[in-house]
Amino acid sequence: MGQLEIEKQYMLDLLKEKNRREKQLKDLKNELQVWKDRLELAEQHQRQDLVSAAREKLSELETRLPGLENSFFAMDREIEDAKNRLKDAQIDDERGLSREGTDALVAGLQAAAGFSPGDPNNPDDRMEAESRKMDAELKDAELDNELEELRKKLK
C-alpha cells in the first residue's frame, strides 16, 4: 500500500471518527434533556427520591459533556493536517492528481463519512469560511493602516 492509499484511508478513518463523536455528542445532549425533563417532573410531583436521582444523573452527564465537546472540535485541526498530508501524497504520487482532483477526493471521503456540502460540521467548509473571514480582516487592517498614513500626510 502506497503513501497515497495510506493517507486516503487515514482521512476516511478520521472523518468516520468525527462522525461517530458527533453522534455521541448529540446522544449525550439528548440524554441530558431527558434527565432535565425527568427532574422537572420529579419536582412537580414532589418526589425527593427521584429529584435526587435525576440531579445525580444530570451531574454525571454534565461532567462528560465538556470532554466530549473538546474531543469533537479538536478533530478539525487533525482533519486539516490530514488533508494537507493527503494533498502532499497526491503531488508525490506518479499520477500527479491536480488540486481539483484532491478537492474532489476529499469531498468524496467526507461524503462517505456522512458530511454533506454546506454542513456546518464539515471541517472544510468551516476552515474555508474562517480563511475568508481572516482575509477580510487582514484587508480591513491594511486599509486602516493606509488611511492612517494618509491622515498623517495630510497633517
Q: Where does residue 118 fall: left (phi above 0), alpha (psi -120 to 50 degrees), or beta otherwise?
A: left
- pTM for this structure? 0.54
Q: How far apart are CA 126 and CA 110, in angstroms?
A: 13
Following CA atoms 25, 82, 8, 126 in sequence, which dihedral angle do they give, to the nearest 10 degrees? 50
47: left (phi over 0), alpha (psi -120 to 50) or beta: beta
pLDDT tier at 131, thresholds 50, 70, 90 = confident
Q: In CATH terms, is domain 3-117 a member of 1.20.58.90?
A: yes
Q: Rg of the Cα trace of the chain?
A: 24
pLDDT tens digits, one per residue of 1-12: 677 788 888 888
